[in-house]
Amino acid sequence: MPKIRRPLEQINKIDEEELLILKKRVDIATAIIIIFVAFLIARLWFLQIHKGEEYGRLSENNRIRIQETQAPRGNILDRHGRIIITNRPYFNLVWTKEDAPDPDYVIKRLSRILNEDISTLLSRIREASGRPRYVPILLKEDIDWKTLVYIENHHFELPGVRVEAVPSRDYLYQNLASHLIGYLGEISKEELKKKEYSNYQGGDPIGKMGIEKVFEKELRGEKGHRYLEVDVHGFEQQELEQQDPLPGRDLQLTLDIDIQRTAEKALEGLGGAVVAMEVNTGNLLALASSPPLQLEEFVGGISSKAWKKLLENPLHPLFDKTIQGQYPPGSTYKIVTALAGLAEGVITPETILYCPGSMRLHGRRYGCWKASGHGAVSLTQALAESCDVYFYQVGLKVGVDKLATYAESLGLGQKTGIILENEKEGLVPTSDWKKRRKNESWQEGETLSVSIGQGFNLTTPLQVCRMTAAIVNGGKILRPHIIAEIKDPDGSTIQKTEPEVVGEAFGNAQQRNSIIKGLVAAVNNRHGTSGNAKLANITVGGKTGTAQVVRMKKFKSMPEAELPRKYRDHAWFTCFAPAENPEIAITVLIEHGGHGGSAAAPIAKKILEEYFKDRLKQDVEP
């Protein structure tokens, strides 16, 4: 090919002059190379020395995955140590986006393994779209054992897929004490922002209501951590370090499962509340609000449909009626009026007042529930038969403001201090209150209403129960307790609840005894209103109440049973037993239940029978 066959060598040969030029150029080339090498070394220095720490950290982040292990949440026990709520592992299938090079393939396989639509899985992935790529996404909760084994065996074919054992709540008694215990949910974005939840992560369970919420700190325990070395596909290579989780503390409640269950069963289908309290300690044996919450619905977040249904239910299941329900106390309030009358010297236990069936005041007629009248009645009789006119007269003489101080001394119109959220105060009306609130002066007629527990008065079932206890325990106003003990997982007691006296009822023992006598008569006398709560061998004392609901004129004259439910009266019954040495106070409220004696007292009786079951048997057998 080369066509020029000239003396190549002549051109090719390098003479002295050319050699010098050549050397110069090579020097330039050397200089250029040195500059470039210097560049490389400078870059090396920058990466390895200057920024080395940072890259070192990045490389550690690359290879080390911190896996959190949830601590088992503390158990919730009843007063006898029986477990109400514990944990059971849910095997959840999670998927880490960062570790999955080929998500489509994995999702397709999973949909076959789990027998679930691809779209369901994809929507779960979409929901978690805001989170960082390394946070596992929950694809399916509570997979069965067979699926679990299959996935563990095929994990090499399913990069990024993992099964996590997550301790979840196991409700051994379903919805027992649901309002009180509450439920867990995923921590919300707002909660995550709070300082007290700084050691939580998105997706962590947290108590949303009841003692699960109030005692979140005790119940939660501390998460454990596993430091794993993983390769680029997310497969574990080895475990570098492990910190075991610290289980949460156990809560022993004051509740008795049997009594609570009896109460809830008795309330089934009704809207109402039962409070049972040990009169000397303030410990609650039952705190039931009906209808109960379906706790299972709340696991994993309640659906908006279920929530709407709860909101629209006429029995208001969302509402804890024991501490949030405020109702006019009805005739149970006659206990207050009686105490005020005795202590103020308006009456003595022997005072006889006349009931003609109604009373006139300033030209208006105020009727007794018994239109034919009770005739001449003593205090005992008045309480037993719930004579309205008797207490109109007592209340009128005491005056509304004096009466209010007695109500307050019995713990009404104020929070009881139970360690639950959203407790209501109720209302004890005074003339001042009316002036402030309505800018009207007090009418004496209103005093009559107040003295029999109608009118402006509002009480919660828990308040009424505590008041009942105070009458029979020597006048002590106790703080109601639901937690008996907080225990460490090893069984040692961290904190034990002691009775807490927060106030003292006005009046003396003699005056209280007069009232007790009346309440015992109410249950046991022939004409007593509370005969439905009578037990064979245990003396019960109690007071019924029928709280009128504001209703339109056209319903005024209708018989109770024919009224639409929402216009029917609330039925109350509050009682204690045994009368000789009282142990327990029980208050029952049935919303729109009608008469206390017929609607509420039988429920209280069932609870009393449960509480005294051993003694009742003993007495029958021999």
Partner 1 sequence: MLWIMLIATMCLMNLYSAIYPSKPLSTPVYIKQLYFFIMGMGIILAIISVDYRIFMSWNYPIYGAVCLLLLYALLLGKSQAGTQRWINLGFFNLQPSEPAKLMLVITLASFYSRKDTGKGFTLKELGVPILLTAVPFLLILKQPDLGTALMLGFIFVSMTLFVKLKWQTLSILLGVCSSMIPIAWKFLLKPYQRQRIETFLNPESDPLRTGYHIMQSKIAVGSGLTFGKGYLQGTQGHLDFLPERHTDFAFSIWAEEFGFFGSVIFLSVYFFLVLWGLNSAVSSRDKFGTLLCIGVVSLLFWQAFINLAMVMGMLPVVGMPLPLFSYGGSSLMTSMAGIGILISVRMRRYQVPS
Catalytic residues: 331
One of 138, 143, 230, 270 touching partner 1 (CB under 8 A): 230
Contact 249, 489 (CB under 8 A): yes
Question: How far is 434 from 456, CA to CA, in rounded Å?
Answer: 9
Task: Considering the complex, state which of residue 10 and residue 199 has its C-beta at the smaller distance from partner 1.
Answer: 10
Task: Considering the complex, state which of residue 68 and residue 229 has its C-beta at the smaller distance from partner 1.
Answer: 229
Asked if 134 touches partner 1 (CB under 8 A), the answer is no
Taking the complex as a whole, the smallest distance from the CB of residue 157 to partner 1 amounts, in Å, to 17
DSSP secondary structure of 168-227: EEEETTTTTTHHHH--EEEPPHHHHHSGGGTT--TT-EEE-SHHHHHTHHHHH-B-EEEE
Question: How far is 516 from 519, CA to CA, in rounded Å?
Answer: 5
In 3-state terms, what secondary structure has residue 571? strand
In 3-state terms, what secondary structure has residue 19? helix
Task: Considering the complex, state which of residue 58 and residue 558 has its C-beta at the smaller distance from partner 1.
Answer: 58
Q: How many residues interact with partner 1 (rule CB under 8 A)? A: 49
Asked if 375 touches partner 1 (CB under 8 A), the answer is no
One of 126, 194, 217, 233 touching partner 1 (CB under 8 A): 233
Taking the complex as a whole, the smallest distance from the CB of residue 139 to partner 1 amounts, in Å, to 20
Question: How far is 186 from 301, CA to CA, in rounded Å?
Answer: 7
Asked if 232 touches partner 1 (CB under 8 A), the answer is yes
Contact 486, 493 (CB under 8 A): yes
Question: How far is 505 from 209, CA to CA, in rounded Å?
Answer: 32
Question: How far is 415 from 423, CA to CA, in rounded Å?
Answer: 7
Rounded to the nearest 10 degrees, what angle do helices 444-451 and 400-409 cross at? 30
Asked if 45 touches partner 1 (CB under 8 A), the answer is yes
Task: Considering the complex, state which of residue 49 and residue 561 has its C-beta at the smaller distance from partner 1.
Answer: 49
Asked if 52 touches partner 1 (CB under 8 A), the answer is yes
Asked if 12 touches partner 1 (CB under 8 A), the answer is yes
Task: Considering the complex, state which of residue 2 and residue 363 has its C-beta at the smaller distance from partner 1.
Answer: 2
Taking the complex as a whole, the smallest distance from the CB of residue 169 to partner 1 amounts, in Å, to 37
One of 54, 296, 432, 444 touching partner 1 (CB under 8 A): 54
Contact 437, 381 (CB under 8 A): no
Task: Considering the complex, state which of residue 25 and residue 566 has its C-beta at the smaller distance from partner 1.
Answer: 25
Task: Considering the complex, state which of residue 237 and residue 348 has its C-beta at the smaller distance from partner 1.
Answer: 237
Pick from 556, 565, 570: nearest CA to 599:
570
Pick from 419, 420, 438: nearest CA to 429:
438
Asked if 2 touches partner 1 (CB under 8 A), the answer is yes
One of 119, 123, 237, 508 touching partner 1 (CB under 8 A): 237
- Return the range that interacts with partner 1 (CB under 8 A); candidates 60-68, 250-258, 395-403, 438-446: 60-68
Taking the complex as a whole, the smallest distance from the CB of residue 57 to partner 1 amounts, in Å, to 8
Considering only residues 74 to 133 of the shown chain, the ones binding partner 1 according to CB under 8 A are 98, 133
Considering only residues 407 to 426 of the shown chain, the ones binding partner 1 according to CB under 8 A are none
Contact 220, 73 (CB under 8 A): yes
Taking the complex as a whole, the smallest distance from the CB of residue 36 to partner 1 amounts, in Å, to 5
Task: Considering the complex, state which of residue 130 and residue 269 has its C-beta at the smaller distance from partner 1.
Answer: 130
Asked if 241 touches partner 1 (CB under 8 A), the answer is no
Asked if 194 touches partner 1 (CB under 8 A), the answer is no
Asked if 30 touches partner 1 (CB under 8 A), the answer is yes
Taking the complex as a whole, the smallest distance from the CB of residue 233 to partner 1 amounts, in Å, to 7
Strands 584-590 and 137-140: unpaired
Asked if 62 touches partner 1 (CB under 8 A), the answer is yes
b or e along 471-506 (b: 16 or more beta carbons within 10 Å of the residue's beta carbon)?
bbbebbbbbbbbbbbbbeeeeeeeeebeeeeebebb
Token pair for 615: 């003694």
Question: How far is 616 from 16, CA to CA, in rounded Å?
Answer: 131
Asked if 16 touches partner 1 (CB under 8 A), the answer is no
Which neighbouring-strand residues pair with 94?
Answer: 138, 162
Asked if 22 touches partner 1 (CB under 8 A), the answer is yes
Site for partner 1, rule CB under 8 A: 1-2, 4, 8-9, 11-14, 18-19, 21-23, 25-26, 29-30, 33, 36-37, 39-41, 43-45, 47-49, 51-56, 58-60, 62-63, 98, 133, 229-233, 237
